[in-house]
Structure 1
Amino acid sequence: MSNLFVITPGLILLAILLGLALYLLFPRKYQSADSVANSYDDWTNDGILEFYWGEHIHLGHYGSPPQRKDFLKAKEDFVHEMVRWGRLNNLPAGTTVLDVGCGIGGSSRILARDYGFAVTGVTISPEQVKRAQELTPPDLTAQFQVDDALALSFPDGSFDVVWSIEAGPHMPDKAQYAREMMRVLKPGGILVVADWNQRDDRQKPLNFWEKPVMRQLLDQWAHPAFASIEGFAEQLAATGLVSGEVATADWTAETLPSWLDSIWQGVARPEGLIRFGVRGFLKSLREVPTLLLMRVAFGAGLCRFGMFRAVRAATPVGEMAVSGQTSEPFTAQTK
């Protein structure tokens, strides 16, 4: 028995060292849209991400001020909080919604089930589309397809609402991402986006320790760059398709517990080790340094969780200026 107590910490230390080696030796840098698709195909096929993070591959909302909450429940609550913040809760059943970067469809299903919306979810990962279709009951008005957020296949003015959660960091061209989402909105339609952002380095440049941390956050999860909240709001406005102002909010405090909660899932649910074996354990373990760095970055103000709401103008802003038309100003509460 005493030998067991000696061996077990040694095995744990060995596993940690192997996970750290995998983390350092095999980064997953952004190379192209294919590298993002392949990463998500891989995670979807092995089932590890779905097992620990559930159907919602995004952070949770823990209230304001934050309070203890079940990890998976916080993720569902995030969807409802985003609906309310975006003023979508009073829209009628049948409202058409495009979910950009839908993952395996968790948010799309809530929007269809609880609000009666007709949802089209798009992702660059074929395996995510397949899994989303498997998880969606036939009576839900939610469908899924492979599409590129930087070149959406839908005509101008196709949707009443465009919705996106944490897809922006994967986009190499943030301005094009903004243009495409605004383009497919109907006049008067609403864009609601939730995203990981970095501090606006035009106001306060990254310092000596923030630069390597940001580099790791980008390189480990196939992110070309993070936008700032201020910068992406400007890019939305620059499309010339926004009526009034872009509303923003910072939900860093409300989502911050998610990072440590996500690590705790591996401890609280040891059955994952049985299901996925040593390979799955090591694959999960290699994510821990990035999750910890995310917690440090968001906690220290290097990163921020940004919310964006914009309304599609009936006429492009440039044309309104020439013709003398004006657009009704739009203001949203930030909490």
Structure 2
Amino acid sequence: MTQSQKLDTWTTSQEEEDRMVPGHMHHWQTMIGHVRERDLRHKTILDFGCNQGGFIQMLFNTMPFARAVGVDIAEGSLAKARARNQFAPADFFHTSQLPGMANTFDMAFSHEVIYLLPDLHAHAKDMAQVLKPGGVYYAATGCHTDNPRWADWHKAISDYSNIDVPHYALDDYAGAFAANGFAVEAKQFRSDGFIGVEPDDKVYYPTLIDKLNYYSQTKILFRFVKV
């Protein structure tokens, strides 16, 4: 995924793309629950890799913000985000427009996006440019080489992705942001709620304990603070 890429969908089918919205809702709720800052009424928000805009809608419904921008490389997804946005003060743009938004955002979010980026240092530099001093970037991913099932996951994701999937360790994410002016924090992406068991789980989780361990141990939420 690069800022200049333009795709209709980042996956190989619209059906796969559409399934992400209901499939990610529980995880978005968990991510929002981990956010340290609870009053966003005067904050400007960036959703990096916004897909169809679902996270922005949920965030506004939970913690109203002043303004948000969602960026993505998938033009078809952006069109759906604009059409579905009924009430949140949000705009949706192609990622290539991000460099023109220097020193704009108080906070940024991405959920299962950074593992697709070809250059983590370039992404960290971009985020340092668009965040205000003291700005915070929450980025969640379970896609990393420290995931004990990463070899199988990498093959499965590559099979449906229109984007090359790199191999990053957790230390690669942390190191890229530390080297580009961020204080780095991390925690396990734990949910207090129940984890749903789905018919197609076997692709990623051969057993139920694999899935429970993934959400209690393997998936990570980073908090990058621009120094």
- TM-score under structure 1 length normalisation: 0.56
> For 1:161 and 1:213, how far apart are their aligned partners in 2?
33
Aligned positions, number: 220
Aligned position for 1:110: 58
Counterpart in 1 of 2:170?
229
Query: 2:7 is aligned with what amino acid?
Result: A
Could you tell me which residue of structure 2 aligns to residue 88 of structure 1? Answer: 37
Q: Which residue of 1 aligns with 2:218?
A: 304
Residue 10 of structure 2 aligns with which residue? Answer: 40
User: In 2, distance between residues paired with 1:311 and 1:215?
Assistant: 29
The corresponding residue for 1:143 is 91
1:178 Cα deviation (Å)? 2.1
Shift of 1:140: 2.1
Name 1:219's counterpart in structure 2: 158
Match of 2:141 in 1: 195
* Residues 112 and 123 of structure 1: CA distance in aligned 2, closer, same or farther (over 3 Å): same
The 1-side partners of 2:110 and 2:175 are apart by 17
For residues 210-289 of structure 1, what are the structure 2 equivalents within 5 Å? 213-220=152-159, 221=161, 222-239=163-180, 241-242=181-182, 245-251=183-189, 257=195, 260-261=197-198, 264=199, 288=200
Q: Report the CA distance between 1:82 and its aligned residue.
A: 1.9
Structure 1 partner of 2:127: 181
Go from structure 1 to structure 2 and tell me whether the alpha carbon gap of 1:304 and 1:142 turns closer, same or farther (over 3 Å shift). Answer: same
Provide the secondary structure at the position in 2 that maps to 1:98. Answer: strand
Q: Residues of 1 paired with 2:178 and 2:112: CA distance? A: 20
Shift in alpha-carbon separation, 1:178–1:255, aligned structure 2, 3 A: farther
Give the partner amino acid of 1:89: R
Q: CA 1:217/1:32 → structure 2, altered by over 3 Å: closer, same or farther?
A: farther
For residue 38 of structure 1, report the CA deviation from its aligned partner. Answer: 4.2
Q: Deviations over 1:68-96 (max 9, x none)?
A: xxxxxxx2x433432332313233x1310
- 1:11 is matched with which residue? none
Cα distance change on mapping 1:57 and 1:32 into 2, 3 Å: farther
Cα separation, 1, equivalents of 2:123 and 2:137: 12
How far, CA to CA, are the matches of 1:233 and 1:310 in structure 2?
A: 9
Give the CA deviation at 1:39: 4.0
Structure 2 partner of 1:168? 114
Residue 175 of structure 1: how far off its partner (Å): 1.9
What amino acid sits opposite 2:77 in the alignment? Q
- CA 1:247–1:38: 2 relative to 1, 3 Å: same
TM-fit CA distance, 1:31: 11
For residues 21-48 of structure 1, what are the alpha-carbon distances to aligned partners after superposition, in whole Å with 9 as ceiling and x for unaligned? xxxxxxxxx99975x834437644xx56
Matched, 1:294 2:208: no
Opposite residue 224 of structure 2, the aligned amino acid is A
Distance (Å, rounded) in 1 between the aligned partners of 2:45 and 2:3: 27
Q: 1:97 to 1:31 in 2, by over 3 A?
A: closer
- In 1, the alpha carbon distance for the partners of 2:210 and 2:167 equals 16
Please say if residues 111 and 119 of structure 1, whose CA atoms lie closer than 8 Å, have aligned partners that are also in contact. Answer: no
User: Which deviations, in whole Å up to 9, do the C-alpha atoms of 1:139-171 show, x marking residues without a partner?
Assistant: 4201111114xx833343110001111111221
Deviations 1:76-119 (A, max 9, x none): x433432332313233x131001000010001112223322111
Q: What one-letter code is carried by the residue in structure 1 that aligns with 2:33?
A: R
Q: Which runs of 5+ in 1 are unaligned?
A: 1-29, 59-74, 265-287, 314-335
In terms of fraction of residues, the more strand-rich structure is 2
- Residue 125 of structure 1 deviates from its aligned partner by 0.6
Q: CA deviation at 1:224?
A: 2.0
Q: Indicate the residue corresponding to 1:122 in structure 2.
A: 71
Instruction: Give 1:234 deviation, angstroms.
Output: 1.5
Shift of 1:312: 1.1
